[in-house]
Amino acid sequence: MKHTPISELEESLEMQAEYEFDYRQARLNRFAENPPLTVTLAPDVARVFTSAEAVNHALRALLSALPARVGASVDWPTFIQSNQQSGGQQ
């Protein structure tokens, strides 16, 4: 049986300055109950909203301004498009 000298083991256990991960092989955590939803912001939006908390705060403010009849069952892309076409008038 071949034994590795301790000095080689210690070197192999040291942290490298940088690691490269292949995220193409990444998999979802199958044990997670509610995996987080990830949204990519456009660069100009990301400059304004620098944290998840800032984005959530702004979205909650927007949701509170919507009429009560607009609920979770709304087809948002259609709702937004119809509001843009009508100039936001209802």
The tens digit of pLDDT for each residue in 37-62 reads 788 999 999 999 999 899 999 988 88
Position 67 scores a pLDDT of 74
Q: Tell whether pTM > 0.95.
A: no
Nearest one of 41, 60, 37, 61 to 49, comparing CA atoms = 41
Cα 47 to Cα 44: distance, rounded to the nearest angstrom: 5
Please say if the pLDDT value at position 33 is more than 70.
Answer: yes
Three-state DSSP class for 18? coil
Contact 58, 49 (CB under 8 A): yes
Residue 23: pLDDT band by 50, 70, 90 thresholds? confident
Q: How many Cβ atoms sit within 10 Å of the Cβ of residue 58?
A: 13
